[in-house]
A and B are shown apart, each in its own frame.
Chain A
Amino acid sequence: GAVVSQHPSWVICKSGTSVKIECRSLDFQATTMFWYRQFPKQSLMLMATSNEGSKATYEQGVEKDKFLINHASLTLSTLTVTSAHPEDSSFYICSASAESYEQYFGPGTRLTVT
């Protein structure tokens, strides 16, 4: 149980375009979802926390207008990188939790902006 999926697993997009990443909890209802970004040889950095049906809470330094997060249902959250630039290239990982401290992580999405 407690499986989280992400789609796509990797994506290449051109600079200036937008890309959407989906995070789904497959076998449980996730009241809270988290989005992380991981640069090479760096730790996972929390970008934002989202609760179903409410606006996401962004960490300091993360542009909410650039990284749009939607958590419209208890099984789906999306992260849209708007007007992507090469410096946005990274590994994006989501996690989901169901009213407990445990977070279940997705397999990640590799974004490359050319």
Chain B
Amino acid sequence: KQEVTQIPAALSVPEGENLVLNCSFTDSAIYNLQWFRQDPGKGLTSLLLIQSSQREQTSGRLNASLDKSSGRSTLYIAASQPGDSATYLCAATRSGAGSYQLTFGKGTKLSVIP
């Protein structure tokens, strides 16, 4: 059974800092790895998706990497802003039984202090 762990559980940084969020997964047989953002009481916003054959994806100030062999992914946020404050979830996708299923980590709650 896939288990996804995110470290740290919470992180507080001053505005402008670069930061890294970590995600690890136990089963390397994943289809892809996704990073989501969740604001309080809201649904999920997809940030980046890395296919199992890829090593990284970039979108603006965000860069996600994937190392399947070690079961790790990182989300790098450059020049953090107060608007980046949210909970960041990573999820590993597996295929089976005719559908693709996501296993989520508990998330990292990020606070960017102005």
From DSSP, what is the main secondary structure of chain A's interface residues? strand
Nearest CB of B to A86, in Å: 19
From DSSP, what is the main secondary structure of chain B's interface residues? strand
The one of A43, A51, A93 that contacts B98, using a Cβ cutoff of 8 Å: A51
Contact between B104 and A43, CB atoms less than 8 A apart: yes
Which residue on chain A has the smallest CB distance to residue B91? Answer: A44
Contact between A101 and B95, CB atoms less than 8 A apart: yes
Nearest CB of B to A15, in Å: 23
| A32 at the binding interface (Cβ < 8 Å) | yes
Q: Which residues from 1 to 54 on chain B have a C-beta closer than 8 Å to any C-beta of chain A?
A: 4, 31-32, 36, 41-44, 46, 49
Contact between A51 and B99, CB atoms less than 8 A apart: yes
Q: Which residues from 87 to 102 on chain B have a C-beta closer than 8 Å to any C-beta of chain A?
A: 89, 91, 93, 95, 97-102
Contact between A105 and B32, CB atoms less than 8 A apart: no
Known: A51-B98, A103-B102. A108 touches B41 (CB 8 A): yes
Known: A101-B32, A107-B42. A44 touches B97 (CB 8 A): no
Known: A93-B44, A107-B42. 6 other contacts (CB 8 A): A32-B99, A43-B106, A44-B89, A46-B102, A97-B100, A105-B43
Partner-A contacts on B (CB < 8 A): 4, 31-32, 36, 41-44, 46, 49, 89, 91, 93, 95, 97-107
Interface CB pairs A-B, < 8 A, 27: A34-B99, A34-B101, A41-B106, A43-B89, A43-B105, A43-B107, A44-B89, A44-B91, A44-B102, A44-B104, A45-B104, A49-B97, A51-B99, A91-B41, A97-B99, A97-B100, A100-B100, A103-B100, A103-B102, A105-B36, A105-B43, A105-B46, A106-B43, A107-B43, A108-B42, A108-B43, A110-B41
